[in-house]
Amino acid sequence: MSQSTEIEFKTMLSATDFKRIMTYYHVTDEMVVEQTNCYFDTFDNKLKNANAGLRIRLLPSFAEVTLKTPQQEGLLETTEKLTLAEAQKYLTLQQVPANGPVEEKLKTLHVTLKELHIISQLTTKRAEFEIDAGLLALDESFYLPAGHDFELELEVKDAKLGQEAFTQLLKTLAVSYIPAENKISRSLKKKQS
List residues bridging with 5 in a β-sheet.
76
Number of structural domains in the chain: 1
pLDDT tens profile 99-117: 999 999 999 999 999 999 9
pLDDT of residue 8: 92
pLDDT of residue 1: 58
pLDDT of residue 38: 95
182: domain CATH number is 2.40.320.10
Q: What is the 3-state secondary structure (H, E, C) of 165-181?
A: HHHHHHHHHCCCCCCCC
3-state secondary structure of 14: coil
The C-alpha angle with vertex 9 and arms to 173 and 43, in degrees rounded to 5, equals 135
Mean pLDDT of the chain: 93
- Bigger pLDDT: 145 vs 182: 182
Nearest alpha-carbon partner for 31 in 134, 129, 156, 132: 129
Residues 6+ apart with CB under 8 A from 106: 54, 67, 96, 112, 113
Domain hosting 45: range is 2-192
DSSP code for 60: S
- Exposure string (b/e) for 175-186, b if CB count within 10 Å is 16 or more? beeeebeebbeb
DSSP code for 31: G
pLDDT at residue 191 greater than cutoff 80: no
pLDDT tens profile 32-65: 999 999 999 999 999 999 999 999 999 999 999 9
Phi and psi at residue 128, to the nearest 5°: -135, 130
pLDDT of residue 2: 76
Nearest alpha-carbon partner for 185 in 62, 57, 45, 64: 45
